[in-house]
Amino acid sequence: MTSMNTVANQRWKALAAHRLFWPVAVLLALLVANVIYRPSFLSIELLQGHLYGSLIDIVRLSAPLILVALGMTLVIATGGIDLSVGSVVAICGAIACLRISQQSDQNSVGGVLSALAVAMVLSLVLGAWNGLLVAGIGIQPIIATLLLMVAGRGLAQLITSGQIITINSSPYKLIGAGFWLTLPFAIFIAVAVTVVAALVTRRTALGMLIEAVGGNAEASRLAGIRSRRFIFTVYVFSAFCAGIAGFMITSNVSSADGNSAGLWIELDAILAVVIGGTSLAGGRFSIGGTILGALIIQTLTTTVYSINITPQTSLLFKALVVIIVCLVQSPAFRASLAHRFRRAAPRPPAPPGPTSPDAPVAEIAVEETPMEVQR
């Protein structure tokens, strides 16, 4: 009896120590709160061949955030940060809408594809610029990308001449607001990019190399890893993801506004990454956690709208959730809870890696690199 209890206890401890435990718990708590408030929350119905429902909405609206957060995850894993994604969203959305609005037939698929190609190339160029500043010149990532964040808004307005470009193109509208196989098309794009990223990073050594660079760029360079090349690549990938998110966001409203498209999405993306358990110090990342983080943020926004909290106070809730999640993930906070009666001494920065040495991270994780394979 006692032994069974201990086993159950140990299992529970192992589960609670798992990196994805808290994000999943928060997401479930939010969903349960919704169901309690509105029992019809989970219902999904089929209307005109499309699935409708709150859950579908949450997933559809979180697709751009998932993409941006995905790129951000890899950037943060190398110990960097990309503040420019919001501006990249605005620039790519603007250039795509501008190219489409200049065409005589806005509904031609070829025309839309060529516009997308131009915008994608531009997003790669912007990412290469960030990568060059960080990996080439060696500027701090937060500053290097702050440049494009400030100047990029100006560039986006330059592209749209300060106007809001409205377009009427059904192929373009499909990206953000359309349906395919009864599901929103945006979900397929987000899932496809996520799967490719997960496969490339976790089924090859790439993910571990990125983590190695984030853990210690100099050490990994001495170990023979071309760390600069990896750092450069993740910034390009991040801008590429932001570009696709820009298509979704502008296509959802069929217009491009250089000022407001993708505003603050970099903050939401960083939050999603942090909530998902990726350490901002770099050195490890969890794609599954990031997806959960993005879903949590979107669910939170939807919850605030659906429960009778005025949308204006949603930011207060966001702030509270962020702080709670961060505190729960902070080893120092857990330690001070555990030794509440002792005086919590200030601790040196926590090393990147599992929060406790006995945390069985690799056991349950799906896309996890085994932690025993030390960098």
Partner 1 sequence: MSVQTAGLTWDRVRSYRPPQRYIPVLATLALLVVMYSIGVSNYRAFSNVQVILNVFIDNGFLVVVGVGMTFVILTGGIDLSVGSVVAMTTMIVSSMLQNGAWPAPVVLVVALLAGPALGFVMGCIIHYFNIQPFIVTLAGMFFARGMCTWISTSAIPIADPTWETLAQSRIRFGSSNFVSPSVVIAFAVVLIAVYVLGYTRIGRNTYAVGGNQQSALLMGLPVGRTKIAVYTISGLCSAIGGILFSFYTLSGYPLGAIGMELDAIAAVVIGGTLLTGGSGYVLGTVLGVLTLGLIQTLITFDGTLSSWWTKIVIGALLFAFILLQRLIGLARKIR
Give the Cα separation of 90 and 62 in Å (integer). 17
Give the Cα separation of 298 and 294 in Å (integer). 6
Residues with Cβ within 8 Å of 38's Cβ and at least 6 positions away in sequence, in order, are 306, 307
Position among 330, 339, 351, 366 found at the interface with partner 1 (CB under 8 A): 330
320 binds partner 1 (CB under 8 A): yes
Asked whether the beta carbons of 73 and 278 are under 8 A apart, the reply is yes
CB nearer partner 1, residue 105 or residue 218: 218
Which 3 state secondary structure label does DSSP give 58? helix
93 binds partner 1 (CB under 8 A): no
Hey, which residues between 151 and 170 contact partner 1 (CB under 8 A)?
A: 151-155, 157-158, 161-162
351 binds partner 1 (CB under 8 A): no
- Residue count of the chain: 375
148 binds partner 1 (CB under 8 A): yes
Asked whether the beta carbons of 85 and 266 are under 8 A apart, the reply is yes
Stretch that binds partner 1, among 21-29, 98-106, 189-197, 266-274 (CB under 8 A): 266-274
Q: How far is the CB of 371 from partner 1 (least distance, A)?
A: 21
Hey, which residues between 282 and 311 contact partner 1 (CB under 8 A)?
A: 310
Phi-psi region of 226 (alpha: psi -120 to 50; beta: other; left: phi over 0): beta
CB nearer partner 1, residue 197 or residue 272: 272
Angle at 124 between CA 90 and CA 248, to 5 degrees: 40
Give the Cα separation of 63 and 50 in Å (integer). 17
Hey, which residues between 70 and 89 contact partner 1 (CB under 8 A)?
A: 81
125 binds partner 1 (CB under 8 A): no
Which parts of this chain interact with partner 1 (CB under 8 A)?
81, 137-140, 142-144, 146-155, 157-158, 161-162, 258, 267, 270-271, 274, 280-281, 310, 312-320, 322-323, 326-327, 330-333, 336, 344, 346-350
